[in-house]
Amino acid sequence: MIQHENIRVKAQKPRFTYSRRRAKIPPVMLNLMKRFAGGIHPKGEKELCCDAPIRKIKPPQKAVIPLIQHAGVPCEPLVNVGDEVKLGQPVGDVQKFITAPVHSSVSGKVVKIADHPHPNGSKVKSVIIESDSRDEKHFSVKPYPELEQLSKQDIRRIVRAAGIVGMGGAAFPTHVKLDPPHDKEIEYYIINGAECEPYLTTDNRTMIERANDVVYGLKAMMKPSDAGEAIIAIEENKPRAIEMMRKAAEGEKNIKVASLKTIYPQGGEKQLIKSLLGREVPSGGLPMDVRVIVNNVGTAVAVADAIKTGMPLVERVVTVTGKSVKRPSNLLVRIGTPISQLIEECGGLPEDARKVILGGPMTGLAQWSLDVPVIKGTSGILILTGGEVDEAEAEACIRCAKCVDHCPSGLLPNFLGDYSEAERYDECERLSALDCIECGICSYVCPTRRNLTQLIKLAKAEITKKRKKNG
């Protein structure tokens, strides 16, 4: 757990309720947003690199392409050891709906297909490619026609072929979101630019530097979903991003930019929908159940790139940060680059480094190896020193209910933690453990340092396993 300071939460009653009738958003709401329940105000620490322009680094000499970089079914390799591959060539896929192909991020030779350390903490079958440093593009990498000439099915096909997933961390295949069931009418498309996780600034810099592509990608995604209106949602602590996005959206009558109050986890899908529209996604439900689709800023840019250039998702922006990092940066990185290369680009690993976390301090995962590669969902690398890591032993719950008060999902984390420790997973299921968004707040506010988030994640995994076993 990480020590934080100055947690302040001001409770507010919601001003609006969800109506099933289609309604325009009152203009005043775009600058005065209501709030979801719970939440916290952790120190943002975004000043470390919020003004650092995106910097492109060299491709890796050896790219490691895991065959699972998304939610859903893992890919199977499409290449063999010894094959020559090109930049943008598919190297893994499977004929399932909820999956996403993976591509080579360099041109070169496949030298191994084997298990390799993965950001999720396990070892995953990966295609390892030795670069020839020529970056020769695959024949399939070529621009598509203008957006106006593309049909709904064309866009779904392009997005699927490009292997685009949610770039905010969940990595859900984007083409699936663009094909909602026929009985799910979509009214609003929301682009999530909240970036509420402390330290991370990838979305902020993307909106500042590539605002027009964010709007282009949004328009492309609106088309197959039949969404009539769109909102680009940004927390108010990113004034430059708000300015650039409003400028880019000028003249787009059905696209608005909303300035949101800064509170964690404002960027959670359900919380964002509650803040913007007053609609509450039902327990066990999805945004489309309240006629909404949500995608990340980086996802919109990836869609724009796929259509304009034909290049699949082979690179992304990654924030490398921490108070001890010599040159905190926002780097444009090829998928498959070892995180050690990114750390070296920013001045190397500090001598007193205690943890290297992929993602932010609230939802990220501490790594056991610097050989793990950047994957599609890698938003940041956070380096913490000994003084920033709280390694005190957890104590017994004192029933203060802080975790309950601050939980944005309205759960009972204290009881969920107790039941998970006792392996009473049926009780966890009864208390709606699957509604946990794994934001980390319960662990953050716990005065006895109970690792509630990890206990609830364990319970969710066991519940999911049982459901799959029972069909």
| For residue 10, pLDDT beyond 60 | no
Output the DSSP codes for 194-242. ---STT--HHHHHHHH-HHHHHHHHHHHHHHHT-SEEEEEEETT-HHHH
Round to whole Å and give the CA distance between 257 and 29.
11
The answer on pLDDT for 15 being more than 60 is no
pLDDT at 414: 97
Q: How far apart are CA 297 and CA 193, in angstroms?
A: 6
Q: What is the pLDDT of residues 24-47, one digit of tens each?
A: 444 434 544 557 889 999 999 999
Among candidates 353, 376, 379, 351, which has minimal Cα distance to 365? 379
Long-range CB pairs of 95-99 (<8 Å, 24+ gap) are 96/72, 97/176, 98/71, 98/72, 98/73, 98/173, 98/176, 99/70, 99/72, 99/73, 99/74, 99/75, 99/173
CB 335 within 8 A of CB 315: yes
Rounded distance between C-alpha atoms, residue 116 and residue 371, angstroms: 9
All structural domains of the chain: 27-37+144-309 (3.40.50.11540), 62-131 (2.40.50.100), 314-388 (3.10.20.600), 402-469 (no CATH)
Distance, CA of 192 to CA of 238 (rounded, Å) = 13
Closest CA to 143 of 311, 313, 312, 310: 310
What pLDDT shows up at residue 16? 34
Q: Tell me, what's the pLDDT at 432?
A: 96
Residue 312: pLDDT above 80?
A: yes
